[in-house]
Amino acid sequence: MTSLRPGERPAPAPRVLVTDLDGTLLGGDRADRGRLRAALDRHPEVTVVFATGRSLASVERILDRDPLVPRPRWVIADVGASVIDGSDRSRVDVVQNQLREGWPGHRRVRERMARFPELEYQEGVVQEGRCSFFLRPGRLSDDIIAAVRELGCGWTYSAGRYFDVLPAPASKGRALALLARKLQWSMESVLVAGDSLNDLSLFELGCHGVLMSGAEPALRERTADRAEVYRPDRAGAAGILAALEGLGWIERPHAVVVGYHRPPVRWADGRWRRPVSPNGVLPTLQGLFGADGPDGVWATALVEDGTAPQAAPEPGRPHRTGLPLAFLPVDGVQWTEYFHRACKETLWPVLMSQPGRMRYRASAWRHYERFNARFADHLSTHAARDATVWLHDYNLWLVPGMLRAARPDLRLGLFHHTPFPPADAFGRLPTAGQLRDSLACLDWAGFHTEAFAGHFRQVLAGAARMPRTGVHPLGIDRRAVEELARARSVRAGTDRGRPALVLSVERLDYAKAPLEKVRAIDALLAQRPSLRGELVFRLVCPPPEPGIRIHDTTRAALEQAVDEVNGRWSYGSWRPIDYLPRALPFAEVVDQYLAAEVFWVTSLQDGMNLTAKEFIASHAATGRRGVLILSRHTGAAAQLGTAALLTDPRSPQDLVDTLHRSLTMTPGERTAHLGRLAALLDDPPPAQWARDILTAIGEAAKGRNSRTWQHI
């Protein structure tokens, strides 16, 4: 026995799938065959062997023409008379010679059997090591069998049609037994699949078996007492899949598949790390997969750029992330074209209702199409029949149409965390029609606000079918935020004093209007010089992902404006603007919330804006009385607008006036203001939010199933 080095794991035991082709591997619908092919591609430790009555030439034609057929490592052809190495198509002579021992030759067999007119020779079929005839049911006679025995040969008769004369030692089972002995396979690690009597010899080897639902009655009868044989009620490839799943050789498909382009973990310092914030789409969906969660998996992309492990780990050794993740490998070039260019330069400006900023390149859009096609296949692979597939955001807009065509059984929902643009902005996209057709294939679409849902319905007006829509504003893990705020409040204290801190926490993005805020500070100090030294605007503004260039102009203009304003108004150690162009740990973000008197949100367009809710929860939990200035164009304004100080970032003077009002509110006004805001934080907990949406998708799909589905 070979000893293992410390920390080394034993190699997984070999697993071998031996399958007939016609009626078995090639049986079932294309979706099932595609899922089987994808499952075998994900599990290269499962060796595929074809055991077929076809010749090698016929097998090669199938492999050339049908992309859903998995690549075989070995081929047992000619009903067991030929054994071929699938990697180079060479003959395994040491095995094949044993199988053909005593073979009188094709010509002699045909001549001797010519006296039986009921045997119709299969013209045009390549026959090597065998002689094959058509024979109608009921015509097999003792004389025919005796003639075969006089030749010293064996025979098989299958499907009530095919009569094959073979070398006496040859059969599919004998060929497999000899090959297994040569390669040292244990029969306990072999699964055979078949549907006709010429597969019987495979089932007699004592290995695992799977009998097709449409198998010959005679084969069913001959294998009836074999407990190791699976008998799934699904045809062809689906039956093989069921057996592989039952043996635990491949993972089972899931009832719920979450489709999001990003994983909830990142690779850093040699290990997988989860988000530090309890809020947002990543931790919310992460919470869905708890102990009492659904049977689900998170399908996502993993960029293989050399900084993280490969998306496909060693066979049988999945990534140890602690979450049910299914990674789709994406190389750096495709990610750049898909995400940095098509998503961020073409679609993002339209979502933000600024189509004038859109940059469309046909080459980048082709990458968007390819990514969505690969992602649709990835989702289909992991989705059980009638599964719920919950998509997220504009990054996967083409997936609904692709999935609906390939998997009409699936329940398809999409939640939009970003704004959904009005019809006139959406229509500016060169690919608007293509996207509209795909989105119309959804069962359900969800949004943070009724306004965004209305935009969606306007965009799809006139479509053959309108998906059901729902409004589900996302909340925060309020308890987690409050507990952290109380803990941090002990060390932070409650005396803030002057200068008053005005805070914004947002990623660098022109849609967040950072430049407009800096200009508003400049205008406020110009209009009210007495505020010099009385306030500090702190902008916590981490940069976007490396490679996203669309915000480069905003970054340069922002840095220049900060320098100019600070240069114009600073004196002594005081500067009006404190610009922090980096991400902070969430605990330090809470510190910033607690230190701030005013939280300033000025998005030109925003999906929800959870930082506003985090600020409210932090202050309410610690007895503080901060002020929230909230853009009218955020999703949060639909929920908090009756209590927040609303502002219009498209009006420079309104920004100035609203900020000045926040700074001059009395303590009593601030206390009442914060109390009203806290009372409006009535969202369901994130985990319940997710469960509610899964229910909504299921209900919408039930409605669809009761009607005639119209392919868009």
Q: If you write DSSP's letter for every residue of 123-165 in order, what string do you get?
A: TT---SSSEEEE--TT---HHHHHHHHHTTEEEEEETTTEEEE
- In the β-sheet with 153-158, what is the strand arrangement from edge to edge? 120-121, 131-134, 162-167, 153-158
Assess contact for 167 and 102: CB atoms under 8 A.
yes
User: Any residues with CB less than 8 A from the CB of 224 and at least 6 apart, and which?
Assistant: none
- In the β-sheet with 577-580, what is the strand arrangement from edge to edge? 577-580, 535-540, 500-505, 598-601, 627-631, 645-647
Beta strands per DSSP E along 282-410: 296-304, 325-331, 383-392
Q: Which two tokens stand for residue 699?
A: 């209900």
- The CA-atom distances, in angstroms, between 599 and each of 501, 520, 539, 559 are 9, 15, 10, 21
The confidence score (pLDDT) of residue 319 equals 58
How far the first Cα of the chain sits from its last, in Å, is 61
Helix residue spans in 534-684 (DSSP H): 552-569, 586-595, 610-621, 636-640, 652-663, 667-679
Kindly report, residue by residue over 241-294, the tens digit of the pLDDT: 999 988 989 888 899 999 999 888 887 777 788 887 888 888 888 888 877 788
- The 8 Å CB, 24+ separation contacts for 63-67 are 66/26, 67/37
Assess contact for 365 and 398: CB atoms under 8 A.
no
Kindly report, residue by residue over 291-307, the tens digit of the pLDDT: 778 889 999 999 987 66
**CA 143 distance to own-chain centroid:** 61
pTM above 0.75, yes or no: yes
Q: Which of 576, 546, 551 is nearest to 564 (CA)?
A: 576
The confidence score (pLDDT) of residue 10 equals 46
Q: How far apart are CA 232 and CA 218, in angstroms?
A: 17
Q: Of all helices (H) and strands (E), which one includes residue 267? A: strand 266-268
Q: Which of 71, 23, 26, 50 is nearest to 202 (CA)?
A: 50
162-167 and 577-580 strand pairing: unpaired
User: Any residues with CB less than 8 A from the CB of 220 and at least 6 apart, and which?
Assistant: 211
Q: How far apart are CA 203 and CA 523, in angstroms?
A: 85
Residues in the chain where the model's pLDDT stays below 70: 1-13, 306-320, 491-497, 704-712
- The CA-atom distances, in angstroms, between 123 and each of 132, 240, 323, 356 are 9, 32, 57, 67
Q: How far apart are CA 402 and CA 380, in angstroms?
A: 10
- The CA-atom distances, in angstroms, between 687 and each of 160, 258, 414, 521 are 58, 14, 17, 39
User: Any residues with CB less than 8 A from the CB of 653 and at least 6 apart, and which?
Assistant: 523
Q: How far apart are CA 165 and CA 154, in angstroms?
A: 6
Category of 294 on φ-ψ map: left (φ > 0), alpha (ψ -120 to 50) or beta: beta
Q: How far apart are CA 704 and CA 408, in angstroms?
A: 11
Q: How far apart are CA 41 and CA 60, in angstroms?
A: 19
Q: Respond yes or no on whether the N-terminal peptide bond of residue 499 is cis (omega within 30° of 0).
A: yes
Give the bridge partners for 600, in sequence order: 629
Assess contact for 272 and 278: CB atoms under 8 A.
no
Q: How far apart are CA 341 and CA 399, in angstroms?
A: 18
For every residue of 48-68, DSSP letters joined together read EEEE-SS-HHHHHHHHHH-TT
Assess contact for 614 and 481: CB atoms under 8 A.
yes
Tell me which residue has tokens 């499952």: 39
Cβ-count burial of 128 within 10 angstroms (0-12 exposed, 13-18 middle, 19+ buried)? middle
Assess contact for 197 and 212: CB atoms under 8 A.
no
Burial 514-539 (b: 16+ CB within 10 A, else e): bbbbbbbbbbbbeeeeebeeebbbbb
Helix, coil or strand: residue 18: strand
Q: Which two tokens stand for residue 324?
A: 């049910």
Helix, coil or strand: residue 412: strand
Assess contact for 151 and 103: CB atoms under 8 A.
no
Helix, coil or strand: residue 364: helix
User: Any residues with CB less than 8 A from the CB of 490 and at least 6 apart, and which?
Assistant: none
